[in-house]
Structure 1
Amino acid sequence: MKWKQMPVGPLQENTYVIWNDANQCLIVDPGSEGSKIIQYIETLNVTPLAILLTHAHFDHIGAVDEVREAFNIPVYIHANEEDWLEDPSKNGSIRFPLGVIKAKKAEHIIKNESQIEIGEFSIEIFETPGHSPGSVSFYFANEGVVFSGDALFQGSIGRTDLPFGNYEQLLNSIHQKLLSLPEETEVCPGHGPVTSIEAEMDSNPFLTGF
């Protein structure tokens, strides 16, 4: 499996394009610049299968419909935020001067932690709320990589001062779900550089004293 980190939009949200040896592709959090994401996928000569959303804040969903319609693929989102795609007051776009963002309903609703198969991809879904109530992380065990959305960053954690955020819940999510992964696991966050579980266990100031 290979993946490409693509910072997009004014908040430099990390969209990820993931593909495998079967030339199948997944897109995680297409937040903005849909044409850029689509063009990159087309250069890979792969078949997109789905869009996976770690959560539904506006900077992570801005290009959902453009990418979905370009490839005619379904969207996966957690049940706690399924109505956020259509509601600017919940996805937060109404509070930022970047334009109101809406997307159509998702085709697949994640209702609990599970392991799913999409094409030849095997994905473990962890519920990691705190930054937002429907935040999830997508773990590819065979590849040793987790896409953590805005739960865990290099040297930091997701903000919890937005509506529906919960600091203690986020810390519990990180410790119980993410830090329980093998230390060599790569962490692909929603913003900023890639890190590892080991690095965050050793030096993340939000976690070392917990």
Structure 2
Amino acid sequence: MKWTQLPLGPLQTNAYVIENEEKQALVIDPGSEGEALVKWLNEQKLNVLAVLLTHAHFDHIGAVDDVREAFNCPVYIHKNEQDWLADPSKNGSSRFFGAETISARPAETIIENEQTLEIGPFKLQSLETPGHSPGSVSYYLLEHSIVFSGDALFAQSIGRTDLPGGNHDLLLKSIHQKLLELPEDTIVACGHGPTTTIGNEMDSNPFLSGF
């Protein structure tokens, strides 16, 4: 398996593409630039099996329908944000000056609790990590020692909690009880910025001390 980080859109939101040797793929958080993203996926000769969303803020969902329509694949989202895709007032695209209003079709698959997701040859553990938003989910691939954390945990930072549904204490609880319990060598593929590791953030993230 290999994975690729693709920063997209004005906020440089990281989309991630996970693929195997047979060119089957998953796309996590296709946030923007749908036409360019679909073109890149086709150039790589990938067969996208599903789109996984860590949460439904506008900068993470802007290209959802483009990818879904191009590859006829389902979208996965947590139940607490299942109605955000179609609602610009909830996904935030109506709140930010200069942001394009975004509305996407409902997701085909609703994540209702923590579970193992088996999508084709891929096996991921969904971890409920609310706080940045009420339906934030992280996707953990145990066999490959990587977690896709969305906007919960960043290198040397954590997600903002001043948006509707945000909760600072809950975010810290999610990080400590779900993410920091993973092995220290686990790669953290963040929603924005560079990757890091669980060990690095345990040792030096200034937002996590004293919790």
TM range (shorter): over 0.9
In 2: Cα distance, 1:69 partner to 1:43 partner: 17
Question: Which aligned pairs between 1:33-182 and structure 2 lie closer than 5 A?
Answer: 33-97=33-97, 98-182=99-183
Structure 1 residue 21 displacement after superposition: 2.0
CA distances 1:158-204 after superposition (whole Å, capped 9, x unpaired): 00011110000000000000000000000001000000000000000
Structure 1 residue 208 displacement after superposition: 2.2
In 2: Cα distance, 1:43 partner to 1:198 partner: 36
Q: Which residue of 2 aligns with 1:198?
A: 199
In 2: Cα distance, 1:181 partner to 1:22 partner: 29
In 1: Cα distance, 2:202 partner to 2:66 partner: 37
Residue 37 of structure 1 aligns with an amino acid whose one-letter code is L
Q: Which residue of 1 aligns with 2:187?
A: 186
Provide the secondary structure at the position in 2 that maps to 1:139. strand
Given the two structures, how large is their TM-score scaled by the length of structure 2?
Answer: 0.98
Given the two structures, how large is their TM-score scaled by the length of structure 1?
Answer: 0.98
CA distances 1:139-169 after superposition (whole Å, capped 9, x unpaired): 0000000000000000000000111100000
In 1: Cα distance, 2:120 partner to 2:39 partner: 22
2:45 is the counterpart of 1:11: no
Structure 1 residue 46 displacement after superposition: 2.1
Residue 139 of structure 2 aligns with an amino acid whose one-letter code is F
Structure 1 residue 41 displacement after superposition: 1.2
In 2: Cα distance, 1:89 partner to 1:105 partner: 15
Structure 1 residue 44 displacement after superposition: 1.8
In 2: Cα distance, 1:151 partner to 1:173 partner: 8
Structure 1 residue 15 displacement after superposition: 0.5
Q: Which residue of 2 aligns with 1:24?
A: 24
In 2: Cα distance, 1:43 partner to 1:88 partner: 32
Q: CA RMSD in A?
A: 0.7
Which stretch of the first structure deviates more once superposed, 149-158 or 41-50? 41-50
Q: Which runs of 5+ in 2 are unaligned?
A: none
In 2: Cα distance, 1:163 partner to 1:64 partner: 22
Q: Which runs of 5+ in 1 are unaligned?
A: none
In 2: Cα distance, 1:149 partner to 1:92 partner: 16
Residue 134 of structure 2 aligns with an amino acid whose one-letter code is P
Structure 1 residue 209 displacement after superposition: 2.2
Which portions of structure 1, spanning 4 or more consecutive aligned residues, are displaced by more than 4 angstroms?
A: none
